[in-house]
Structure 1
C-alpha cells in the first residue's frame, strides 16, 4: 500500500471508531510506530483535526466530517455477497437494517459500479437448508439484544425449551451473542438459574428491554463460556471412520455437527467431531447406515443401536 492510500485508510479508520491506538494502526498496516506518528502528523498538516487522549488514543475532533466514501466495484461486490449470506443467517431485523444500508451504498456508486453490482447479483445464490420458522419464534430480536448489550440493560422474555416442550419466563443480563450450529445464540447471566446460560434466539418470544441496568464486569466473560466451559463440560471428541465415497458426499454438512479435522487412512477417512448432544449426532450418522464406523464412543454406539431397535419395532407394527 502506498502512502497516499495508507493516509486515506488511516483517516477512515479514525472516523470509524471513537478512539484508535497507535498499536491498532501499526498492526493493521504493518508499519512502525514511528511511521504512524509521521502519518498522523501529515494528516494534521493537511487540515484534519486529530486529537489525542492518554490511555485511549487518537480521535477526530467532533464536528469534522470526511467527504463521502467512494467504493470500488470489488468492495461493492463483497458487500453484496455479505447481504446474501445475512438473508440466510440473520434474523429479519438485521436483514432490514442491512438492506437499508445497502441501498445507501448503491446510491453513492458510480454508474459503471452500479451496473457491475446489478449484473453480479444475477449470478449469486446462497443455498442452505431451509428451516421452517414457526410464528411463535419469529427471530426478530437481535437488534434489541444488540442495544441491550451496548447499554448493559436487563432483558425479559419467554424461552421455549425443546426438551420439555414448555415455556419459561426469564430475566437475564446479556453478555454477548455468537453464531454456531446454524443459529444465533444469546449468552447471558440468567437470574432464575443463577448462572450463565446459552439461549437460541429463535426460541425467544415476547422480548422486552427493561429500564434496569447491570455491571457486566461482575460476570464471567461470555467468550470464556463459549470456548472454555463449553469444551470442557458439554462437548466430547468423537472419531468416526467414513468409507471414501461417502466422505466425498458429506461436503459442508460436517460443519453443522462440530467437525474439526480429518485424515485419510487405508480404511477410509477418519473425521474428528466435537459433539454435545449424542442423540442429535447419532440421527445424522444413521443416514450413512453401514458405510460409517464409530471409533471411540460406546455411548454413541448405544444411542444408534437404540434408534435401530425403535425403527425395527415401528415398522414391524406398521406391517
Structure 2
C-alpha cells in the first residue's frame, strides 16, 4: 500500500472506529509506529482535524467525517466497464486489482442501484482480445510498468515491420521509457532511443528479450505524456479510386494511412499518406481490381510491377 492510500485508509479507520493509538494503526497497516506518526502529521498539515490524546490515541474532531460516495447506475456502469477493459488489456497485476475493485464497488452500491447498474451493464459488451495470463505482451507490459515506476532504462530486441536502411529488421535498443499508450488495439512504449538518439515509439508485440537495466533513466521534467502528440512524418501520398461495392468496407477499416475520402460519381476517392510505399501497397493490392491508383504515376508503375510479379506465380 502506498503512502497516499495508507493515509486515506487511516482516515477511514478513525472515522469508523472513533479512537485508535498509533500502535493500533501500525498493527492494522503492518507498518512502523514512526510511519503512522508521519502519516498523521501529513494529514494534519493537509487540514484534517485529527486530535491526539496521551494514552487514548488519535481521533477525528467531532463533526468531521468523509461523506460516503453515492453513485448513480450510470456512474457505476462507467466504472465497471472501465474495470472490464483493464481486466482484458492490462497485465496480471492490474487484472487482479480490477477484479478486487469490482467486488468492492459492487459491495458498496445500494441494492436498487446495483440492480439497475446490472441491468444497464447487460446492454454493453467489450469485444477485445482475451490473451492468456502468460501472454508475452502482458508480461512485457508489466516489466515496462516496473521500469517506468523505478525510473530505469530498458534493453530489448526490436523487430520493425519493414527493413531499415541497413537492410535489417532487428536491432538491439536501449531506451529511456517515457510512458505507455494503448493505440488502435495495441500497446506501445514511448521512449528515448539511444540507437537513434530521438524519441521513438515501440510496439510491445515486436519486442523480445526485454530486460531492465540498473542505469537510472528519467524523462525530461517538461515532458507530459497526456499532452504529447507525435510528429506526422507521412510525407508521401497516393490517391486511390475504390469501387462503390467496397466503399463501406474501406470506411469501416479505419486504415491508419487514410487521410481523406471523397465520394465521386465513379467511386470513392481515397488519399493515403505514408512514409514508405510498402506500408500501403499490400492494402491497395488486397482489393484487387476494386482499387485503382490514380496518382502519382510512380506508384501506378509500382502497382504494375507488383502485378507482373504476381502473374509469375500463376
Counterpart in 1 of 2:269? Answer: 270
Q: Tell me by how many angstroms 1:286 deviates.
A: 2.2
The answer for the alignment partner of 1:286 in structure 2 is 285
1:313 and 2:309 aligned = no
Q: Distance in 1 between matches of 2:214 and 2:88?
A: 32
8 Å contact from structure 1 (residues 94, 142) kept in 2: no
Q: Which residue of 2 aligns with 1:200?
A: 203
Would you say 1:173 and 2:172 are equivalent positions?
no
Q: 2:190 aligns with which of 184, 187, 211?
A: 187
CA contact (8 A) 1:257 1:275 kept: no
Instruction: Give 1:156's aligned residue.
Output: 155
Which blocks of at least 5 consecutive residues in structure 2 are unaligned?
A: 1-7, 9-42, 51-59
Task: Provide TM-score, normalisation by structure 1.
Answer: 0.62
Counterparts in 2 of 1:175 and 1:138: CA distance versus 1, 3 Å:
closer
Q: Offset of 1:251 from its aligned partner?
A: 4.1
For 1:126-141, list aligned pairs within 5 A.
126-127=126-127, 137-141=136-140
**Secondary structure at 1:140 match in 2:** helix
> Which residue is equivalent to 1:241?
241
Q: Within 2, Cα distance between the matches of 1:77 and 1:83?
A: 10
Aligned to 2:115, what secondary structure does the other structure show? helix
Taking structure 2 as the reference length, the TM-score comes to: 0.63
Structure (1/2) with the larger helix percentage? 1
Q: Aligned to 1:138, what secondary structure does the other structure show?
A: helix
Q: Aligned in 2, Cα 1:168/1:262: closer, same or farther, shift over 3 Å?
A: closer
Q: Quick one: structure 1 residues 162 and 227, their matched pair in 2 at CA, closer, same or farther if it must change by over 3 Å?
A: closer
Equivalent residue, structure 2, for 1:104:
104
Deviation at 1:186, TM superposition (A): 1.0
In structure 2, the residue corresponding to 1:101 is in which secondary structure? helix
Q: Once the 2 structures are TM-superposed, how far is the Cα of residue 173 of structure 1 from its aligned partner?
A: 0.6
Gaps of 5+ in 1: 1-14, 16-48, 52-58
Task: Give 1 or 2 for the bigger CA radius of gyration.
Answer: 2
State the distance in 1 between where 2:235 and 2:89 align: 24
Give the CA RMSD over aligned residues: 4.0
Deviations along 1:113-168, one digit per CA (max 9) or x if unpaired, are 3223434444433446x6999x8843323344234335532123333445468754
Corresponding residue for residue 113 of structure 2: 113
Q: 1:109 to 1:303 in 2, by over 3 A?
A: farther
